[in-house]
Chains A and B, each alone.
Chain A
């Protein structure tokens, strides 16, 4: 039997269930978001059907092929390349009118088109009805009316799609949209924004609800992360003793035991025990907010302030992406139409503490800034820290705009997409399994080479001190001025590899020549205090964690997106300067009042 290979491209407006279809077809887990432009890069997956191989390309969500934004350019170029056998245009049944415009534009480029009218169930609920037999008459081209949530519909789509290939008809698609709409669609116009929207965007209630939502998420993250965290630190501290005895038993040399136990194992266990649990727990909670469709309302509430600093209101969305990962926030800035606003959004995205920095913030807050163990107080302080980071983002954007002499360019449109029922199974699968696995893999990949580097740095002795000690002592005065020390600055610099290793490396450097008996925060706090940490140190570390140079991946992403050395350098220097100045100021202030 001969195996044929076909390529299918998925195209459509943002938030029409394209990614849901893609996930179903390819069974590959790709995150679906509820706002414009979540698919930051086109994803590619494959599936087998009736002994044929199908490759599916998930193009970014776009509104038209008129090439206003970069994502539209990408999609248009792809369509014109004709490197596909079928284009599947996915549309939301409820906004069929404007969606058909996109369909028509695609048909101008190719005739190999399948139109998928999705989300029909939701459209029916909102009083819309499509006459299927009439539609066949006015749209005599391949099309499917369906709901991606329905498994039967999806199976039908799959078989229908595959039956179209190889695509035989070459006839030009020609439809008359106004007549089609008039003849096939009946609906009663209802007001979309309901009481929920009114409350969520209310001038007083809106911000309060935003803050309470944030607080609740952070509280749940802190509380829920405690259990796996204490279990993991127990396991790892027992494991250290076991590991040493195993290494001794097989007769490893002392330097190898030192390297493996005191460096690799120690940093790795700190990353996994202290950093991993909050990362894994925060993610599904935030993804839930995203899937429900709350984020565009946040963007709406905050938009006035974004206008004030001359930023795009869509920056609220890229900031939200940044809480997950700054690289995603930087790439996601493509949804911003204006090139200048995009650059502002990309460079200031680093002021948003990413998932890799959250655990550091949580650890510092719960060790030094709350007296008793109170998750509510920690959550509140963390929420305050996030508000602080938001304010810094606003001010930082304004400052950067003035520095680059960009004019205020205020035109902008944001679709407030309807609320959708979140797919809990997908979110949990995505975050608890894929995310955990990815973070673990990254931790291992980063920690092993960094540990070896640190080991080498600590063991090459030049004039009575190791290289690392020399570096630390050079940085010590700057660190002191910033309320911290040389070791911490070194940790931040090495942490460019990945933000989640900053605190583990710092702790490891402090504890080089002793056995870490456990990895609980109580023990770590004692260790830090022994090494001279005070309230001021904690405060400055907190600030510098929020405001410092981006990690290496973010720098690469900025370079890829801007193709400009100037902006890439600026993205490193700008936040660093602000962070250093602010730390020096806070340190001086604390010395005065303390």
Chain B
């Protein structure tokens, strides 16, 4: 199972699920981060945490603790 964490800069994926353990799941949905969304990793930081992802025209910085819950294909 691959998650957003595994994406390196410029790699693409499609979101297939968000783990229920994620406390901010509702917030992700509000931001349009839902199943079926295409996602590109666009920025990385010095410690690979956080990384920034482009999802539906918007760019979000996510910490590993959150992106580990987002399953991609």
**A contact set with B: CB distance below 8 Å:** 63-64, 66, 68, 94-95, 97-98, 101-102, 126, 187, 189, 191-193, 197-198, 201, 203, 206, 296, 299-301, 303-304, 307, 313, 337, 409-416, 418
Contact = CB atoms under 8 A, between A and B. Distances in A.
6 contacts: A63-B31, A66-B26, A68-B30, A193-B52, A307-B65, A313-B50
Contact of A94 (B40, B42, B57, B63): B57
How many of chain B's residues touch chain A, expressed as a range?
A: 20 to 34
A485 B19 CA distance: 59
Interface class of chain B by DSSP:
mixed
- Residue in B40, B60, B63 whose Cβ sees the most chain A Cβ within 10 Å: B63
A76 B43 CA distance: 34
Closest 4 CB pairs of A and B: A98-B32, A64-B30, A193-B42, A410-B65
Contacts of B31: 63, 98, 413, 415
Given A98-B30, A413-B60, A203 B49 contact: no
A460 to B, nearest CB: 58
A11 to B, nearest CB: 14
Nearest to A105: B30
A201 B59 CA distance: 14
Contact of B30 (A66, A193, A296): A66
Given A66-B27, A68-B30, A192-B57, 17 more contacts: A63-B27, A64-B30, A68-B24, A94-B57, A95-B32, A95-B56, A95-B58, A98-B30, A126-B57, A197-B42, A197-B43, A303-B63, A304-B49, A307-B49, A411-B22, A411-B65, A413-B62
A64 B27 CA distance: 8
A415 B27 contact: no
A101 B61 contact: no
Nearest to A65: B30
B45 A97 contact: no
A397 to B, nearest CB: 16
A68 B27 CA distance: 7
B54 interface: yes
B42 to A, nearest CB: 4
Nearest to A296: B61
Nearest to B59: A416
Contact of A415 (B44, B45, B60): B60
Contacts of B59: 192-193, 415-416, 418
B7 interface: no
A203 B66 CA distance: 22
A89 to B, nearest CB: 14
A58 B23 CA distance: 29
- Residue in A337, A411, A418 whose Cβ sees the most chain B Cβ within 10 Å: A411
A448 B44 CA distance: 53
- Residue in B28, B38, B46, B58 whose Cβ sees the most chain A Cβ within 10 Å: B58
Contacts of A191: 40, 42, 54
Nearest to A300: B61
Contacts of A409: 23
A412 B43 contact: no
A346 B57 CA distance: 32
Interface string B2-28: 000000000000000000001110111
